[in-house]
Amino acid sequence: MTEITHRFVRSGSGLRMHVAEAGEGPLVLLLHGFPECWYSWRHQLTALADAGFHAVAPDQRGYARTGGPAGTDQYTVLHLAGDAVGLIDALGAERAVVAGHDWGAPVAWAVAQMRPDKVRGVIGMSVPHRPRSSRPPVEAMRGLFGDGFYMVRFQQPDLPEAELDRDRAATFRRMLYATSGDGPAPALIAPPDGGFLDVLPEPEKMPGWLTEDDIATYVEEYAESGFTGPVNWYRNLDRNWELTAAWHRAPIGPPALFIAGDRDIVAVGSRDAIDSMTDFVPNLRDTVWLSGCGHWTQQERPAEVTGAMLAFLRDL
């Protein structure tokens, strides 16, 4: 089996980033989501390498072994896209296919939109590209879902990461299970007198795609950095809206692929955006729906996700 190796790379943005990588060939950059790290791509790293690609999964800014700056304002989408573009350069590639899941998907879409010269193709998972909204997103989400909605709740200082860091094994176990195809897919709205994790039940037994060893690995990867950096991404939602005015309704030109589970609460709640995505992603080659799959796309259905990715990559 192909070996996954690890090293630190200084991105052109100046951030020292931990990367997991495998294989040689055209670069495929794999951007994880929340609350994950490079490990969420463990299946694709080896499979893409075996197929003749250089697969690289960084810990993104604020996460796991990469860590990041203390300032909350250092986690905007411009920083995140800059890290990815800088990493392409630092890895010696002129261009890359950029794939992103969950929070990694908006970063991948942003890289393809802002720097199409660096992108051979873009793959989004779970989160479709959405054109910039007409008003700040936190205000809109508060109006729709209330203060308990997790993205609104994450705007608070200190409290969100304190809850998530209190028992990291329980945090990963409950989050990964509850919003998977095996879980209850709860509304992510904290009760008035409780916390975000209160709506995420502990599994009676672990689903087949997730083991206690996987949970232990996530806990170990977060040992140094914790959850402050990851939550800071959410604290920049309105700032991102302000900073991306220049790209308002700008199309994404590179060839694109979208993959999602039909039990993913994020994707199911975004059906209108997914159905109309070609309005702003005119070169969308395919939308792949995975039956019975929840939010953790590439972990829940590794073979199907890898197969869809390879078909797209070879078509390029």
Residues annotated catalytic, as ranges: 102, 295
Angle at alpha carbon of residue 59, lines to 115 and 306, rounded to 5°: 75
Instruction: Estimate to the nearest angstrom the gap between the alpha carbon of 156 and the chain centroid.
Output: 22
